[in-house]
Amino acid sequence: MRWSDLNEALGSLPAWNDRIVIDGTNPVEFLGPDSPDAKDPANPLDAHGIKAIDLGGRSSSEVFRALVPGARVVKALNHLDVNVLAQPEACGGQRVQFYSGDDAHAKTQVCKVLEAIGPAGPAQRVKLLPSAAMRSSSGDSVKPGPMRSP
């Protein structure tokens, strides 16, 4: 989801009531090729077609958390482009999914979901992702593997 769509997408949802929410967003604006920011030497992200959004000194997690009051937020799944998930191995190693948050139990549950999903692999496995996440979040035993929270 684009950062600019967060207010609209999350603003009208019911109370979160202690549910876990994965924040997979990045506070960036996507630039068109004709945008003056697309070639701005002061924008270190211009080569990627994006520009950081000014959050007024707050972290993106603080801003996101304010949009989901009552939720237990874990930041995850926001650093790899979806196009690379089908290739879990790169440069002689494995791709990793980082995650962070203030709630240890919520991080453990998100780790279980990530471990249950495993590497995305071939496109045929994509259809399995929601069911793997649901099994894990419903309490089935999934042993965390090598993923660790920073």
Q: Give span(s): CATH 3.40.50.720, the chain.
A: 1-78
Please tell me the distance from the alpha carbon of residue 112 to that of residue 45, in angstroms, as a whole number. Answer: 33
Distance in angstroms between the alpha carbons of the first and the last residue of the chain: 24
State the DSSP string of 8-74: HHHHTSPP-TT-EEEE----EEEPPTT-GGGG-TT-TTGGGTEEEPP-TT--HHHHHHHHSTT-EEE
105: three-class secondary structure by DSSP: helix
> For the segment 86-130, what is each residue's pLDDT rounded down to a tens digit?
777 778 777 778 889 999 999 999 999 888 877 655 444 444 444
Model confidence pLDDT, tens digit, residues 29-72: 998 888 888 888 888 888 888 999 999 999 999 999 999 999 99
pLDDT of residue 131: 39
Q: Give residues with Cβ within 8 angstroms of 125, minimum separation 6.
A: none
pLDDT the model gives residue 92: 79
Q: What number of CA atoms fall less than 13 Å from residue 61's CA on the CB side?
A: 13
Superfamily of domain 1-78: NAD(P)-binding Rossmann-like Domain (3.40.50.720)
Length of the chain (residues)? 150
Beta strands 20-23 and 72-76 are parallel
